[in-house]
Structure 1
């Protein structure tokens, strides 16, 4: 694996370092754009991939980050029931403008602006998970406890 990080991954690495974490962003030789690709690249199960999905709050238009287990689909009805937020799809330009990353490389941290974050309770079953780190082929390893601390996210049941 290459050690040379792109600017977006360096931004994630700086965030992690500034928050007292020794997590290391890794540039992979193959794509980590999808949960399946990422799992193959790092050698874990698809469920251990913490995929970061940006939605739009249907009422306010604000970005909402949902970090879901790679094998789960997000149930918008469960999110609405747990939080009162109506999730709407966000297009690529909205995602890049609001969080600063392209779809396929959105990390759970180091965004352009503060983002309300919802976390998939299913991730708690793993001692080790992997998240995108700013590009479609960079990742970092962490545990669910740190994911919660770094994102200040709300843990909910959100899987279909």
Structure 2
């Protein structure tokens, strides 16, 4: 069985990305911790956050510079309610543990919103399936990799 990291690398290369994954010296459970280790702005960290949107998984790839406005996300996807998913729900939906969720490499594609705030950075960093792994990409490439929709989701 492939590891979460292998699934992310495979998904990257299938989309024409070189598949380069950076291993950080220590786990980065927050955008701030990742930004410090990568020496980049916290807003350039693409947090992969799983929510429950009327019972179905919704992945929001948000800029580390702000929180997700769940009302904006719910409005954008046309549901009544969006709420933070439990760790068990996240693992089932993504095959990845909370703290290391990547925007790709899931068992099945998830409906995805990609925060337009990430477009303000020439490069962004996203999780690669484990708490200490990241990959470099761009906003446009992230939208293409995830098959996501660009959306202003910041609070």
TM-score (norm 2): 0.94
**2-side partners of 1:16 and 1:129: how far apart?**
15
Q: Which residue of 2 aligns with 1:129?
A: 124
- Please list every run of 5 or more consecutive structure 1 residues that lacks an aligned counterpart in the other structure: 1-5
1:113 aligns with 2:108: yes
- Out of 87, 94, 97, the residue aligned to residue 92 of structure 1 is 87
Residue 3 (structure 1) aligns with: none
Superposed counterparts of 1:35-114, under 5 Å: 35-58=31-54, 61-85=55-79, 86-114=81-109
Structure 2 residue aligned with 1:140: 135
Gaps in structure 2 of 5+ consecutive residues = none
Conserved in 2, the CA contact under 8 Å of 1:32 and 1:132?
A: no
Partner secondary structure for residue 106 of structure 1: coil
> Number of aligned pairs?
153
Question: Contact 1:32 / 1:139 at 8 angstroms: preserved in 2?
Answer: no
| Alpha-carbon distance between aligned partners in 1 of 2:74 and 2:129, rounded to the nearest angstrom | 28
Residue pair 2:53, 2:74 contacting (<8 A) in 1 also = no
Residue 14 (structure 2) pairs with residue 18 (structure 1): yes
Contact 1:23 1:141 (C-alpha < 8 Å) held by counterparts: no
Maintained 8 Å contact 1:67/1:118:
yes
Contact 2:10–2:19, Cα closer than 8 Å, also in 1:
no
Task: Provide the C-alpha distance between the structure 2 equivalents of 1:41 and 1:102, rounded to a whole number of angstroms.
Answer: 20
Q: Does the CA contact (< 8 Å) of 2:7 and 2:106 recur in 1?
A: no
Deviation of the 1:77 alpha carbon = 1.4
TM-score (norm 1): 0.91
Alignment RMSD (CA, Å): 1.3
